[in-house]
Structure 1
Amino acid sequence: MISRIDLRGDALARLDARQLRTVLPRAEFDVDAALGTVRPICEQVREHGAEALRDLGERFDHVRPTQLRVPAEVLASALRDLPSDVRSALEESIRRARLVHEDQRRVDTVTQVVPGGVVIERHVPVERVGLYVPGGRAVYPSSVVMNVVPAQVAGVGSLAVASPPQADNTGAYAGYPHPTILAACELLGVDEVYTVGGAQAIAMFAYGAREDDGTVVCEPVNLVTGPGNIYVAAAKRLLQGVIGIDAEAGPTEIAILADDSADAQYVAADLISQAEHDPLAASVLVTDSPELADAVETALQERVSRTKHEIRVKEALSGAQSGIVLVDDVEAGVRVVDAYGAEHLEIQTRDAAEVAAGIRNAGAIFVGDYAPVSLGDYAAGSNHVLPTGGCACHSAGLSVQSFLRGIHVVDYTREALADVAATVVTLANSEDLPAHGQAVTARFGDALP
């Protein structure tokens, strides 16, 4: 069901970091190939606005929305209809997420460089943000929480959510996103919600949308965040520059670094939990214990046959993106998982916290037997919008900082400028930009003070 890669002996030593990344399992996710598909979609939205969004909803989601913005009464109804246990669970998820994200708030810093010369760094929230919530094989109210909470904590003044209409919706929710997503928006106080999915949602956020008579349906945003499929990722890439983006999210992934102290049943359950997302989901075990590898394979056989989404899980586990990697010791395993740069990394070893402290590349790290990835998905308080495809080596997950911009405010007196004038002029002349220096000397009678 799941392949093995043997990096014991000198096999690992022969590989540099780049080569190691190429031999590790990874999903094929060719965003460039999808650009040709999404470019005309985005152009259609840019040119034809709301009518294009309806046409594209009918084409891709098999729903032609009459109202692109979900009415307030539908949002309120969704929250009233939400089962009480789900509401309580969402409220607890929100509470924990707020605790963590409120501790990420930044304060302005004031640095006195010289007497009379001050540089202030102000942290200013993005004015308007579009939050994308996918709605394909599963329903993701948790993604509403993970996108909205840090944006609200950052102080973003205008939030809009887009999620695809669900063809199976009936009654009051016909033509709209899944009611649990609508309920999560209402619970969080987000009243601007659009029944638009896929690449067209990203284009709507980038360009805005109007009716043929000029009525504004959706104003453009400054930043788009949230996960999605390959077409959402391609639209983000295409429109970056028109909008800011958080990341081009690829298929979800888990890596587990484990030694012979790990419980094979826990490891197998966690690999399956990630494989449940998508046939392209990656589940990777890195271990120095062949005995654990054998026990995990046995546990997978038993557990997969009992899981609801057996076919999807089998496809993911047997795909090229999943596998068991054998190494000589935990130190070698650390090198492997650092090269892999997993979205989610579990450490199930002796001294797990110490091992985790040595990891440099991961979207989020889950330490020990009682911190499965699914805890982070819903209720750890951490954010589950994380870098995929090895991007954890240079990018971080969604946080309050994702919605803030640092602005330097430079405040110098005449005396402080005079003190550094010669330095500025010298450097300007060294770059053959004399007018830069003259902008300083002009303040002192066109001469150095």
Structure 2
Amino acid sequence: MKFRPTQIALVAGGALLVFGIISLVVINLRPKTGGEKVSLVVWGFEDASAFKAVIEAYQRFRSNVEVAYLEVPEVGYKEALVNALAAGRGPDIFMIGNRDLPQELERITPMDSQQFNLIGFRDAFPAVAEQDFVRNETIYALPLYLDTLALFYNKDLFDQAGVVEPPRTWEDFQAIIPKLRVINESGKITRAAAAIGGSKRTIPTAVDIMSLLMLQNGTQMVSRDLTEATFGGSQSGLHAFTYYLQFANIASSVYTWSDSQESALDSFAAGKTAMVLEYQSALRDVVKRNPFVRVGVAPVLQSKGAGTSITFPRYIGLTVSRQSRASGWAWDFAAYVTVDPNGNSLYLGAASRPPALRSTIGSNFTHPDYAVFARQALTARSWYEIDDARIQRILDLAVQNVLGGRATAEQALRQAGDQVTQLMRLR
């Protein structure tokens, strides 16, 4: 979607207004500086360098507070956090994924509305942040940044195939597959048009792409009372599921992927795949694999004629442990990093992440690296996942069962829905 100059001006003006509101909220509602010394411990799986400048700035601003950041490996982070909290040695502040609130709810001290209320939260962040981090009008976490699925494409492969611009719709996407795909005489894909249709074994974002398709297709993923997964028995869910699978079906005209291929990112970086649907965070991985690949980034695909754009997010927030003896100050620091425009800018600059704060989103609409992600943050939607890791495994198995001929798409999706329902009813 292209923005006219007048639209950008309106967004920028709105961002300035929000900037003013947020600044007033953050400055006026924090505890007063001075008094007893406070020590805070932050756990996170991002590099410590991402927090160095913002911690130093906060400590100058709050001279009575000392903040220590402990970098914990992402693999095993949740287990280490649970064990530390169980032993009474947990941090004051910890990172939380945008799909993890159902699991972490009992370990969190929610934010006091006197520090930052729901009205301020809605003014500060896109709607998806409330979907993910607010329950019963209570704030449980604040987003550090907001990443969304986007279309990465190899500019050289597009040029060689005579494709002048990236597709904007799923229909356009299907139309260019024959131009970009290369299949040898034995029927083996030697160059994939796109990494789509396979399982997580080769496509890390496979389940997220399916969630995106279901949401774009109007699928109600779970019941309103959050006791049942409804996607498994819905026609819209099945349509999205079969649409995804067709790209790995050798009998399909849009066949372009096989689970026997190498990892999607490796294949993309090596010039063996023309397009991938990935998050901004994956760009650095592509460049590490091949510094010379010419990568273009386009908005995630939408259905032709859709009145509403829907994008799909994966991001991290900060929250405060129920064990913290200084929860007010802990939330004060979390707000400085996420809600205060100055503090958040220090973090974003060091971490190289796309913004979640509305006042910063507006100013990134023309940014060479973040423009696509800034715009998509405003249309991001998620769904209530009782256990993200298990749901990823369940839906991934559904894909594997269909590709392996062990189940029809309808059987596999219905079984996946039943398994997610079981998880929801165990809580």
TM-score, normalisation: structure 1: 0.27
Larger C-alpha radius of gyration, 1 or 2? 1
TM-score, normalisation: structure 2: 0.28
